[in-house]
Amino acid sequence: MHTQKHQAWVVIFGGLLCLQLVGCATNVGKTVKVSDEQLAKFGTLSAADALAALETRVNEAMKANMPFFAPNYYRSASEILSDTRKSAEKKPKDEVIGNIAKADAILDKGQTMMAIVQSRLVNELALKDQLDKDNVGKVFPKEYENSIGKLSNLIEKIELEKTDNLDKDKIELIKTMQALDVRTIQYTALHESEVLNEDTRSKDGEEQAPATLAEALRIYLDAGNRIAQAPHDEALVQRAGADTLFAARHARYVNERVLILQNKFKEAVEPIVLEEEKRLLDISTALGHKDLRDQSIENQAGEIAQVAGEVLQGQHKSKQEIGAVNNQSKAFETRLNEANDTIRQVNTKLAEKDT
């Protein structure tokens, strides 16, 4: 008896379904057929419980990103849910259940379509993930939005089975997304250097420190090319950014030093500043210290003096512990003493130029 009633219920709802579906469903929804199993699944529930079950399915579809991968199917099911929720109490139960079963069938088709979309846009979706990883949306929001809009258009073409020129559109989109990704990585790595170089240029750097600024700009262009060749080599990108920033800071400090000294010499001042830096660089190298030319002359001299003092102090401690000094230690200490003398000479020269 129960089986006969169940079969009768399926027949009744199957016959009523085409006449009683919600009118605002999108075209993709109108082509979806409801199975007997789907009708039976909701037919045993109250209208309220069936509505709650559909709401759960719609939420699950949203979490699975159906609004992106199968937007029309998701929208169609959501519209049915919304309209049914508003009118459930005013309509017969069979009509409500029919609409809910229809939305459930649409979501099933939407899941199938999501898989199709993902299989046909593997490279494009991987590039979208890369754009998101590289924060393209924050760096170039308009360009990012445009690329994602084009990707969404391709998704909808597949979803609606309107795939004319799809392969051509895919090729163009991949080129656009790749170029945008490289541009973003270059910007992120090199923008600070670009700002510094422009600041130096605006302060007459091309006239006062032409050689140093030209070298900074050369390194900037070279870094951009290096990044373009391997944009996702994080170590390479980091080195390129560091090299460019060092050169930009160097050009800035050389230009600032030229501004200070330009009224004290008749000849070009940039070579004098570079010679000052060379003497300090030689001392820093002798001490085994890093290149400090991305700092002001004063800061370079101060840091070198501090390093020399620390090394000498370490040598003295070593002598106390060992009780004797070998020839190599004596030779090194002599070099440190000479370095300190040179630093004092450089500081004296700088003071004379500043007076």
Task: Report the C-alpha gap between 117 and 107 in whole angstroms.
Answer: 15
Question: Predicted confidence band at 260 (pLDDT cuts at 50, 70, 90)?
Answer: confident
In terms of pLDDT, which residue wins out, 6 or 36? 36
pLDDT at site 4: 44
Give the tens place of pLDDT for each residue, 282-301: 888 888 889 888 888 888 88
Q: Tell me the mean pLDDT in the region 172-181.
A: 97
DSSP for 264-324 reads T-SS-SHHHHHHHHHHHHHHHHHTTPPP-TTS-HHHHHHHHHHHHHHHHHHHHHHHHHHSS
pLDDT at 132: 97
69 backbone dihedrals φ, ψ, rounded to 5°: -85, -25
Higher per-residue pLDDT: 83 or 355: 83
Q: Which has more pLDDT, 309 or 73?
A: 73
Kindly indicate the confidence band of residue 325, based on its pLDDT and cuts at 50, 70 and 90.
very low
Q: Which residues contact 135 (CB under 8 A, 6 or more apart)?
A: 184, 188
Q: What is the per-residue pLDDT for 280?
A: 84
Can you give the pLDDT at residue 348?
Answer: 63
| pLDDT tens figures, 29-44 | 778 888 888 888 888 8
Give the count of beta carbons closer than 10 Å to the beta carbon of residue 142: 8
pLDDT tens-digit readout, 132-155: 999 999 999 999 999 999 999 999
Q: What is the pTM of this model?
A: 0.72
Contacts of 153 (CB under 8 A, 6+ apart): 169
pLDDT at 31: 81
pLDDT at 190 over 80: yes
